Chains A and B, each alone.
Chain A
Amino acid sequence: MSEPAEFVTIKLNGEEIQAPAGEMLIKVAEDNGTYIPRFCWHPRMKPVGLCRMCLVEVETPRGTALVPSCVQPVADGMAVETGSPVALKAQEGVLEFLLVNHPLDCPICDRGGECPLQDQVMSYGPGESRFVEEKRHYEKPVPISDLVLLDRERCILCARCTRFSDEIAGDPLIEFQNRGNGTEIFTFPDEPFASYFSGNTVQICPVGALTAAPYRFRARPWDLLTIESTSPFHTEGSRITVHASQNQVLRFLGVDNGLTNQGWLSDKERFGFEFIGSPDRLKMPMIREDGEFREASWGEAIGLVAARLKEIVERSGPDAVGAIGGAQGTNEDAYALSKFMRVAVGTNNLDAQLDDGLNPDFLVGVGSRARIQDLESAKTILVWSADLKEENPILYLRVRRAARELDATLIVVHPARTGLDDLADHKFGYRPGDGADLLADLAAGTQDYAPALDALQDGPVVVILGRTGLSEDGGLAEAVASFARDLPAASIMPIVRRANTFGALDMGVAPSLLPGRIPARGASGAIIELWGKVPATRGLDTAGMLAGLVGGELEALIMVGADPVRDVPSGSKAADALRAADFSVAIDLFMTDSAAMADVVLPAEGFTEKEGTVTNLEGRVQKVNRIVPGPGQARPDWSVLDGIAESMGSPIGLPSSEAIAKEISTVATAYEGVSWDLLEGEAREGAVVPIGDVRQPLEYIAVNAEQPARTKGLALHLARTLYDDGSAIRHSLSLAKLAPGMTAGLSPDQAVDLGVEAGDLVTVSIGSVTFACPVRIDRALADKTVAIPFNQPGIETLDAAASVLVKAGGSS
């Protein structure tokens, strides 16, 4: 942050201290160990001086005065008393007033036991109330969205929730209504508080006025066990605390890691905890016999998998086996998969991405990689990626902050409307497939693009890039990166969406990479020592493996936390591939659509059930921790893979997650110096690898993106939404119902051409899949384009490459 370097001297309770000029008194006092009570002030939002709880006595030329310390900047020579009799009396008075209408129903309030109002009344309150009149009454909790309930009687009108929604999230759907004694927080009729970030208001509400449906009445805070961890939902790696009671995870709360999530969580990562305790979790290994699954012991299941894999390797060679997945677990799990495939099987056929990401060499090897924190000082930000609000919501908040509070110039390039459009200084749209033309125009600075190109010359610039949709060629993002590399002061942040993809790639779960960002052909040193000979030829990626299964070159497929049938942008091909496979095994938390087609399904431990590390999109390694046991006989991925290798007679020697972590730091060049001790001690905010002066091991060589063939007819923009039919959401009951469902996004002109209006039914055919859905008008779309959300409940997976037809009318 660009803090003014100037310091002033103030007297705080008689003691002289130095403080940065302009800083608010409440913050200065806190930084110097003096807590001033507060309700409305929040370190991540603008001060408003609304609740008056933070009154302190300040000496002024006209004698001492009571001043709200959250809106009082420090000035040289200022003398402050935070605990003088006058200040205390004022604080007491404020609390007495706040309690005038407060129902004091703490025994039935979720917040009881961790309530700032309760705490501050205990510490600063009068102890007795003189108020004997009838209190104000409102209908007790009213749902203001599917996730959040509001109890207006408890509200102390601090405006934290409304300021968060407006300032931070950009969804001002709740506001003060009425005035005076009748003031209340409320939504507009029929406009629920449907924000992707609504849960944050529950966390920052200083009373129990806002409660979260998934947690209500589930526990008392003093009964909860708590552990710090890293959210498994987005590639930003939000820091969280996990709360559990009686071996059940009951909630996640955001932790303020200033470098990443700054305390905020998306509702998906806050309420997605529900999948952990789902009754649908796999508890026992399952073996298919005569077409039906039956439960089996671990010994039998592992024995069978090992025997079948061995048989296939002996018959057809190691390259007849492939593995998909590894991006949903820890780095330790991914490392085990990487080692298993190279050492126990002997192939480079493995891929952590599901044909929906970017070239792995590019993702981990592109130089001048930006960190999230670079957004704080960026003058210009170019976002040419998926809609961040849908896929990387924490990054969305940080970009929003940079554009709104820190005045960065924001350029957004995307074929459809995105969550950032309203804040963008420049928004460019294009018809899917025509991105390369737009890039050429932008690089040349022709006409409309000149101001944006000028802004991009003005560093520091952060370029966030990725695939804008599943139907877009990943090569475009690489071309954008090449353009960005030639800008005078740009750093690059390539992004993908699936949780620990970056960690998995760093562990070598890619057809071309070994652990530590080393090219597969360049194995040397510790890897050779520990792994022995590793295959040097590039393996198959996910698309290649699925095609290989159908073509017969590949015979066995291992799926580790991967559901290609739902997640690969041509899911029906994935189903064909699984049908064609000679043998397939799924290690997963749930019986996913893909697992249901496998020969053996092995139950895995998931988040909060295992310990390890994960790596976020900027290369930040953080710790995840265990707080509950896994269901039934579930085991961590690494242990399952170690068991199979052992049984195959080619052990990979991975006895524990911690031992794997040590091996990673020896084998993986980029992870040198990373240890659990470091991440639990000094580097609790995470350590960005490579640490220190170690050179980025992989040199990515830019390829010239080929101009894709122009789409005739309708172009398809197939993009993910925050809530979809992915297995974590499907098994989180509160979130499952929030998937938006199928719509067909059309430009206004396109809609006129088709003779339809918003809400009308149209029939969409994508390849062999046909469905009816309502029209949504998106003014940002180009003509001859249709925008379709990916992986919605009840719809078969769509093929991003297939041709599209849209007809008016709902009969299919």
Chain B
Amino acid sequence: MTDTARWSEESEALAESVMAKYPQKRSALMPLLYIAMREDGYLSEAGMRRVADLVDLEPAQVSSVASFYTMYKLEPVGKYLVSVCTSISCWLLGGDEVLEAVEASAGVPSGETDESGVISPEHVECIGACGGAPAVQVNYELIEGLTPKKATELVEWLNAAQPATLNGDEMQALFGGERSFDWAINETNDATGPYPAFQPHGTIAALDRS
């Protein structure tokens, strides 16, 4: 195994502490991928090599896992990842049109990022909000019951305001329609790091608390 480039001290320390929580190093693969994403803003080849080195896998095995999950981004993503659900419930209630509206106002198709690096539209499979279809997430903060028109406004607002933090309840009030049920804890996603994901990227924060 070749020696790979180390991450920042903080990330290296975090990686150590994550690995220490598992009886086998390779079990830490997925959380380490989040650290790699935070380091580079996406999962770069160098990042995957570093993970492979840390958990004693071959890089091909690491990218096999990384490329299976859509929330691991193998390419840089804009400031706001706008995920439009096109699974069955949302599709029946106009998810496709919502997606088209998002793409149109972002000016790029799903899977790409606009020129200024602000909006990345994507279509996703069911995000568990079927009762509030059609549903959209911005940096994984949920908005339900959008119309194509509201979706366009959402993208325009993101572009203009470029908020530092996003809050689902607030966006729901501004752009959403009918809500399926009370989402309980109202937590702001302040994942405004170089790429959008759970804070800081979910798993890690949870591990830090444990």
Residues of A within 8 A of B (CB): 171-179, 186-191, 422, 758, 777
Nearest CB of chain A from residue B55's CB, rounded to whole Å = 13
**A178 lies within 8 A of B67 (CB):** yes
Cα A175 to Cα B45 in complex, Å, equals 16
**B45 lies within 8 A of A173 (CB):** no
B57 beta carbon closer than 8 Å to chain A: yes
Residues of B within 8 A of A (CB): 3, 45, 48-49, 56-64, 67-68
- A residues near B58, Cβ cutoff 8 Å: 171-173, 175, 188, 191
17 A-B interface contacts by CB (under 8 A)? A172-B57, A172-B58, A174-B60, A175-B58, A175-B63, A175-B64, A176-B64, A177-B60, A179-B67, A179-B68, A188-B48, A188-B49, A188-B58, A188-B60, A190-B45, A758-B3, A777-B3
Cα A758 to Cα B3 in complex, Å, equals 9
Cα A422 to Cα B49 in complex, Å, equals 19
**A175 lies within 8 A of B68 (CB):** no
Cα A132 to Cα B202 in complex, Å, equals 44
Cα A187 to Cα B68 in complex, Å, equals 15
**B60 lies within 8 A of A191 (CB):** yes
**B3 lies within 8 A of A175 (CB):** no
- B residues near A189, Cβ cutoff 8 Å: 45
Instruction: Determine the residue in chain B with the shortest Cβ distance to A179.
Output: B68
- A residues near B45, Cβ cutoff 8 Å: 188-190
Cα A176 to Cα B63 in complex, Å, equals 9
Instruction: Determine the residue in chain A with the shortest Cβ distance to B57.
Output: A172
Cα A758 to Cα B45 in complex, Å, equals 21
Cα A524 to Cα B60 in complex, Å, equals 62
6 extra interface residue pairs, beta carbon distance < 8 Å, beyond A175-B63, A758-B3:
A171-B58, A172-B57, A173-B60, A175-B58, A177-B64, A191-B58
Cα A777 to Cα B2 in complex, Å, equals 10
Cα A190 to Cα B58 in complex, Å, equals 12
Q: Which of A186, A758, A777 contacts B60 (CB 8 A)?
A: A186
- B residues near A172, Cβ cutoff 8 Å: 57-58, 60-61
Cα A55 to Cα B58 in complex, Å, equals 33
Nearest 5 pairs of A and B residues by beta carbon: A175-B64, A188-B59, A188-B60, A175-B60, A178-B67
Cα A191 to Cα B59 in complex, Å, equals 8
**A177 lies within 8 A of B59 (CB):** no
**A188 lies within 8 A of B63 (CB):** yes
Cα A172 to Cα B62 in complex, Å, equals 11
- B residues near A171, Cβ cutoff 8 Å: 58
Cα A173 to Cα B64 in complex, Å, equals 11
Nearest CB of chain A from residue B60's CB, rounded to whole Å = 4
- B residues near A777, Cβ cutoff 8 Å: 3
Instruction: Determine the residue in chain B with the shortest Cβ distance to A186.
Output: B60
Between B57, B62, B67, the greatest number of chain A beta carbons within 10 A of the residue's beta carbon is seen for B67
Instruction: Determine the residue in chain B with the shortest Cβ distance to A180.
Output: B68
- A residues near B3, Cβ cutoff 8 Å: 758, 777
Cα A186 to Cα B60 in complex, Å, equals 8
Nearest CB of chain B from residue A70's CB, rounded to whole Å = 22
Cα A390 to Cα B67 in complex, Å, equals 34
Instruction: Determine the residue in chain A with the shortest Cβ distance to B68.
Output: A179
Cα A33 to Cα B196 in complex, Å, equals 58
Between B49, B58, B62, the greatest number of chain A beta carbons within 10 A of the residue's beta carbon is seen for B58
Cα A422 to Cα B61 in complex, Å, equals 17
- A residues near B59, Cβ cutoff 8 Å: 188, 191
- A residues near B56, Cβ cutoff 8 Å: 422
Cα A174 to Cα B58 in complex, Å, equals 9
Instruction: Determine the residue in chain B with the shortest Cβ distance to A187.
Output: B60
Cα A171 to Cα B1 in complex, Å, equals 12
- B residues near A190, Cβ cutoff 8 Å: 45
Cα A173 to Cα B52 in complex, Å, equals 12
Nearest CB of chain A from residue B194's CB, rounded to whole Å = 22
- A residues near B68, Cβ cutoff 8 Å: 176, 178-179
Nearest CB of chain B from residue A167's CB, rounded to whole Å = 13
Cα A758 to Cα B49 in complex, Å, equals 18
Instruction: Determine the residue in chain A with the shortest Cβ distance to B70.
Output: A179
Cα A188 to Cα B60 in complex, Å, equals 5
Between B56, B60, B63, B64, the greatest number of chain A beta carbons within 10 A of the residue's beta carbon is seen for B60
Instruction: Determine the residue in chain B with the shortest Cβ distance to A178.
Output: B67
Cα A191 to Cα B58 in complex, Å, equals 9
Nearest CB of chain B from residue A304's CB, rounded to whole Å = 56
Nearest CB of chain B from residue A543's CB, rounded to whole Å = 39
Cα A174 to Cα B59 in complex, Å, equals 9
- A residues near B49, Cβ cutoff 8 Å: 188
Cα A179 to Cα B67 in complex, Å, equals 7
Cα A172 to Cα B45 in complex, Å, equals 17
- B residues near A176, Cβ cutoff 8 Å: 64, 68
Q: Which of A177, A179, A422, A758 contacts B63 (CB 8 A)?
A: A177
Nearest CB of chain A from residue B73's CB, rounded to whole Å = 14
Nearest CB of chain A from residue B33's CB, rounded to whole Å = 14
Nearest CB of chain B from residue A470's CB, rounded to whole Å = 27
**B67 lies within 8 A of A177 (CB):** yes
Cα A352 to Cα B139 in complex, Å, equals 72
Instruction: Determine the residue in chain A with the shortest Cβ distance to B66.
Output: A177
Nearest CB of chain B from residue A749's CB, rounded to whole Å = 16
Cα A595 to Cα B57 in complex, Å, equals 46
Nearest CB of chain B from residue A78's CB, rounded to whole Å = 35
Nearest CB of chain A from residue B83's CB, rounded to whole Å = 17
Instruction: Determine the residue in chain B with the shortest Cβ distance to A166.
Output: B61
Cα A758 to Cα B48 in complex, Å, equals 21
Nearest CB of chain A from residue B61's CB, rounded to whole Å = 5
Instruction: Determine the residue in chain B with the shortest Cβ distance to A174.
Output: B60
Between B57, B62, B63, the greatest number of chain A beta carbons within 10 A of the residue's beta carbon is seen for B63
Cα A510 to Cα B63 in complex, Å, equals 54
Instruction: Determine the residue in chain B with the shortest Cβ distance to A758.
Output: B3
Cα A172 to Cα B48 in complex, Å, equals 15
Q: Which of A175, A178, A179, A758 contacts B61 (CB 8 A)?
A: A175
Nearest CB of chain B from residue A667's CB, rounded to whole Å = 53
